[in-house]
Structure 1
């Protein structure tokens, strides 16, 4: 056993990975934020203050908080193979052209872990690398079409501002981790960075981790060859406890990947049931945890215009190897209650009138992170929902999210738990 594992949604949280706002968010502009999946540019210094307060709150509650960028830097310094793997996956003839590829790779592998990690997450421009400039890296313009034609501020490595939301590219279900093939191209290299951490960081490399996806290759490394052909993201994945898992299918997660993951869980005897929630494929409801999260063992919050009419299916092991039993559920909330082993699920709706509910859902009002049963973290701005939840006996620890929320994610989205207790 590795000691790592997330055995419920609301059991006491012990350890979590986050990413402090950084260079990648400074790269957002009015001209590229849509392509990078943000609704606006951020005041990064203020976002850092908001994030620091969130981290301080968790640490005050005894939770060990690890930083993604520090883990990545340490993983890169832990092994020359880590740097080689990172550079080979991010720099190729398709990104810098065949003339430049060898020299750019050689330059980046010579960097120390902190410098390389900064740019694997934050991006790297042609200008910063000095491509085509006297004394810089790479061929002169006369030798390379890429050096001749691309603009000075074009990216050699793209920025990954959605690294702020650590939940999606890597997620734990019970005793194993899934390195997720995410949906949008703008986020796919986030999973490579997660793979580097789990494969090479001393915390994880020799911990005997169980991987639900991708499989381990013949050389003992992670086989990422199929990333992106099907997709699943951590915002859709919930280890409910009681040997049950909930997964949303909508804008970001697809049925083929859910089938693959369910079969892996059943084959390892890690779960008995996967409850699938069919959601509208909309940016407003991009993940299950944007419309539904658990607050306590038998209490949840939900955006009823979506969850009130959502279809659900239960997957269980089939009667032959590699098969599933797929059963439709009559009521999504009754199915959650049954999966959790409680008589009834108390559902606290998003607060306010119809307009206010829509506004607060858009502002991550249903995206709570449970620190322990009945104690959750959410954005202060969602006044109606927080008040309604408190009236149901749940303690809401409020954080500011004026800047952090511009990426459409709340406390749950910003965290990747690696150690969480089972249900009490």
Structure 2
């Protein structure tokens, strides 16, 4: 991998480049009335969340990581040409999002906006009042029935968690079909960035999902039964990808990724591990993350019941060979060629262990082998990691953690070394 070539070739190799998203307009629009629909457990003190996020970014930059902000990338991609902007607007402004009567007028108006203004509202949301839609009430039920502060385009506060809509697996990327309706539009924004931003536009790389040549629409009509999110996806190295079968990622979509990567020779094995479907678990990386080449952390109740299957290429093109593994730990050791994988459990007694898992106590993000970022508040787990030789760089997450995500959740690595 050259310095200019995107690709994520492990979970713990030296991190070179990463995309994050600083809390913005959408968080000011998170209220007690809509927070459940937007998948948050509480509203955020936005200015504090921004300060916490800025400190998080600074820790990465101090360690030599090049950090890109998602909203800035989206604005720059939108400004690369009229056709790019038109494509983005047509993907976002549909009869499903604004209603059929408003499609044309909303598209026409947004097409005249700058990339910066459009990116602000594609992520932050657009209200009837901001759009000035009052004069359209005679022609649109959506316009007539909404109060001035009703959203024509919804806010996307979960953009904070850049891990999920796009996931780099070795030399290619998956633009993920998100499970919840509230997050569908995030993938469109990531698609615009990956297809049209100058950082990616001149580079030849495969898309593991959707397949090359398929229509790049991300909505209820094109998803079908597909569901996959980046918090479940881990390119652990040595030609292996671990994917959690969780609340938000299903087996049929894992098969799509496997077939796509096997056909390109980009992976030799996919380890699919069962993650109980619950709000506290959500994704694989809320209960398990790598810390070093031969060290990981896990929430013990998950590990005790983590049934796994390994997928390998079948004897015919597009076919798979599926076999059950003895255990998750054994499958990981085999895949990485390790004689020993040290799995460090969440810290504290049973009660504290459960509290820290809930507060992203297993959601660490490696900057290099044995150097990870995690929330300061998980004191028992952080102490235990340090006792096992892991350097833990602590960040504050009192506000950032209210959407149930930690350091790994908030990052989309786009360049990371192999191990």
Tell me if TM exceeds 0.5.
Answer: yes
Q: Distance in 2 between matches of 1:179 and 1:95?
A: 20
- TM normalised by structure 1 equals 0.96
SS class of match (1:226): helix
Superposition map of 1:97-246 within 5 A: 97-133=99-135, 139=136, 141-217=137-213, 222=216, 224=218, 226-227=222-223, 229-246=225-242
Residue 293 (str. 1) matches residue 289 (str. 2): yes
> How far off is 1:223 after superposition?
5.5
Structure 1, 412-421 or 226-235: larger mean CA deviation: 226-235
Q: Distance in 2 between matches of 1:106 and 1:87?
A: 9
SS class of match (1:55): helix
Superposition map of 1:334-345 within 5 A: 334-345=330-341
Aligned equivalent of 1:307, options 299, 303, 311:
303
Are the aligned partners of 1:216 and 1:222 in contact in 2 as well (CA < 8 Å)?
no
Aligned to 2:412: 416
> How far off is 1:228 after superposition?
5.5
Structure 2: which 5+ runs fail to align? none
Change (3 A) 1:228 1:287: farther
Please give the root-mean-square deviation of Cα atoms over the aligned residues, in Å: 1.3
SS class of match (2:310): strand
SS class of match (1:207): coil
Are the aligned partners of 2:211 and 2:260 in contact in 1 as well (CA < 8 Å)?
no
Superposition map of 1:346-365 within 5 A: 346-365=342-361
Total equivalences in the alignment: 415
> How far off is 1:314 after superposition?
0.8
Aligned equivalent of 2:384, options 369, 384, 388:
388
Q: Distance in 2 between matches of 1:32 and 1:342?
A: 47
Are the aligned partners of 2:287 and 2:298 in contact in 1 as well (CA < 8 Å)?
yes
Residue 54 (str. 1) matches residue 50 (str. 2): no
Aligned equivalent of 2:96, options 94, 97, 100:
94
Are the aligned partners of 1:386 and 1:396 in contact in 2 as well (CA < 8 Å)?
yes
Aligned to 1:258: 254
> How far off is 1:99 after superposition?
3.0
Are the aligned partners of 1:290 and 1:364 in contact in 2 as well (CA < 8 Å)?
yes
Structure 1: which 5+ runs fail to align? 134-138
Superposition map of 1:38-49 within 5 A: 38-49=40-51
Deviations 1:251-283 (A, max 9, x none): 000000000101111111111111110111111
> How far off is 1:145 after superposition?
2.6
Are the aligned partners of 1:181 and 1:228 in contact in 2 as well (CA < 8 Å)?
no
> How far off is 1:69 after superposition?
0.2
> How far off is 1:327 after superposition?
0.8
> How far off is 1:386 after superposition?
0.3
Q: Distance in 2 between matches of 1:414 and 1:93?
A: 31
Are the aligned partners of 1:127 and 1:152 in contact in 2 as well (CA < 8 Å)?
yes
Are the aligned partners of 1:183 and 1:228 in contact in 2 as well (CA < 8 Å)?
no
Aligned to 1:136: none
Deviations 1:298-317 (A, max 9, x none): 10000011122210111111
> How far off is 1:29 after superposition?
0.4
Q: Distance in 2 between matches of 1:31 and 1:372?
A: 41
SS class of match (1:148): helix
Change (3 A) 1:35 1:342: same
- TM normalised by structure 2 equals 0.97
Deviations 1:354-408 (A, max 9, x none): 1100000000000000000000000000000000000000000000000000010
Q: Distance in 1 between matches of 2:85 and 2:414?
A: 24
